[in-house]
Amino acid sequence: MADQVAPLRLDGERKSGQDVRDENVSAALSVANVVKTSLGPIGLDKMLVDDIGDVTVTNDGATILRLLEIEHPAAKVLVDLAQLQDEEVGDGTTSVVIIASELLRRGNDLVKKKVHPTLVISGFRLAMKESIRYIRANLATPSEALGRECLMNIARTSISSKVIGAESEFFANLVVDAIQRVKTINSRGDYRYPVKAVNILKQHGRSMRETMHVHGFALNCTRGSQQMPSRITGAKIALLDFDLQRVKTRMGVQVLVTDPKELEAIRRREEDMTKERIAKIVEAGANVVLTTKGIDDFSLKFLVQKGVIGVRRVKKDDIRRIAKLTGGEIMLTLANLEGDESFDTKFLGVADEVSQERLADDELILIKTEEGSRATSIVLRGPNEYMLDEMERSVHDALCAVKRCLESGRVVPGGGCVETALSIHLEEFATTIETKEQLAIAEFAEALLVIPKQLAVNAAKDATELVAKLRAHHYLSQSDESKADHKYMGLDLVAGVVRDNLAAGVLEPAMSKVKSIQFATEAAIALMRIDDFVRINPKQQQQQQGGGMPGGMPGGMMM
């Protein structure tokens, strides 16, 4: 009789086939349900409280998902998806999660109808490629043709769903001015707009309309001494990454002194060395000294005598940005190649004005420069910490949206326009496919409608009626050439009607939609490929450090 093969013993839990897919879909839908009510201009906010009591109030999808403690592996894929969208585009994090979860749900329904997962995945990929091609060929409009007003509309659309939506005009102007000010040219001659060059500071007090745009860099520090001048015009800035303190003998060095007069001479020499170092910096022309380390009282006294502003404990990130802004160079030491200490004038940064100004209960150092500089600052004002944090996230999203529009040069209408147009087109495209992928493409087309439906639901409108009207307009635009301008029709969620969103100025970067569809499809495919789930039980720690014997006897003992 042939030996029977013993079954595999697994110290853990295993699920296979449809059970795994159902569980993954359930986890993905749970994540999407958390964020879907925050979609759109009339979306709601979420309050998140962590284990130590810190409160966050936001409707930014990436922030909500990052703060949630999610354990299910499939749900974590959607959290990573939102973070990826946030890093790549900066906006559209909520919609990408909603689309991915809907694709996963509809793909799972097809698998239940005996369509193989491989065919569903292949159909989704076909639909994704056709969607991207259609956006670029038919829906994207060059932003250059629309001018500054296009950038304003991009910023307004991004801000409209945020806490600062009521002041969208004010903040849109501020965002567009800030991002255009940091324009740079890379080695290939392309314009780039680094969002990191826009320094965002938060100051409690006053209303959000008191937010300031500073042409230069705002530093959350103060002068080292109140006796220093509070304002210097024609500033020459020394940027140091070492401390200005009295020189001390290093650890392990012994100095044997027999005469007390010699001890006093050593102390005087230590003071003179510090004074000489500061004198070299001042004689080079510096009238502002910024350092990442400390400045002691003796050094401050010397700087006061010379009429120099000294600022200590500057963050390293800030001092790097100031170096870029002013054309200065950060000095790690004053030592030169010969071993002597010197400070060259070429290391100094130049600014029109450096001043200390009071805002609310705090004071800031403002480094102002003329046009052409590559850094700028936004000082946000608001009533409390929660509002300021959410304002910072909102302004950052708007900056990213305008940046993507400027760099890619293509915009598309918002308000569910793109998703509805793609849905109609993909339904037609599916009929040209003779294989079973047709079913997956048709489901992909239906899944995209989740965005206009959710927008209407969040605005307390009749979603079924509005989406039906929207589909009718887009069907006409694709079937009747005389009505091709209907392809820009989207939802007006305030009035609850369908309108031309290109003319209305509801615009988004084309890159945002392309990336959303790409990332959502890839995430859904990654989860659909899973048909086995194994969770290994954690190994029990041995009770004794030296190991235990069977029966609970300590290791090394015998009966």
Q: Please identify every residue annotated as catalytic.
A: 60, 93-94, 397
Pick from 30, 44, 102: which is nearest to 452 by CA? 102
Pick from 273, 276, 299, 303: which is nearest to 288 by CA? 303
Which amino acid, 549? Answer: M
| Burial of residue 122, with CB atoms counted within 10 A of its CB: 0-12 exposed, 13-18 middle, 19 or more buried | middle
Pick from 156, 194, 193, 201: which is nearest to 174 by CA? 156
Pick from 435, 437, 505, 421: which is nearest to 470 by CA? 421
Sign of the alpha-carbon torsion through 385, 169, 97, 521: negative
Q: Taking a C-beta distance cutoff of 8 angstroms, is the pair 291, 308 a contact?
A: no
- Quick one: DSSP state of residue 166? G
Structure tokens at 422: 């793609």
**Which residue shows structure tokens 């703060």?**
67
Helices 73-88 and 510-528 meet at what angle, rounded to 10?
160
β-pairing verdict for 46-49 and 191-192: unpaired
Tell me the CA distances in angstroms from 268 to 47, 98, 272, 527, one per residue in order: 60, 70, 6, 72
Which amino acid, 91? Answer: D
- Cα separation of 192 and 406, whole Å? 8
Chain centroid, CA 288 distance in Å: 33
Structure tokens at 492: 């007006």
As a three-state string, the secondary structure of 451-492 is: HHHHHHHHCCCCHHHHHHHHHHHHHHHHHCHHHHHHHHEEEE
- Quick one: DSSP state of residue 225? -
Q: Using alpha carbons only, give the angle 427, 429, 433 rounded to the nearest 5 degrees.
A: 110
Cβ-based neighbour number of residue 24 at 10 Å: 21
Q: Taking a C-beta distance cutoff of 8 angstroms, is the pair 377, 200 a contact?
A: yes
Pick from 66, 121, 75, 74: which is nearest to 93 by CA? 66
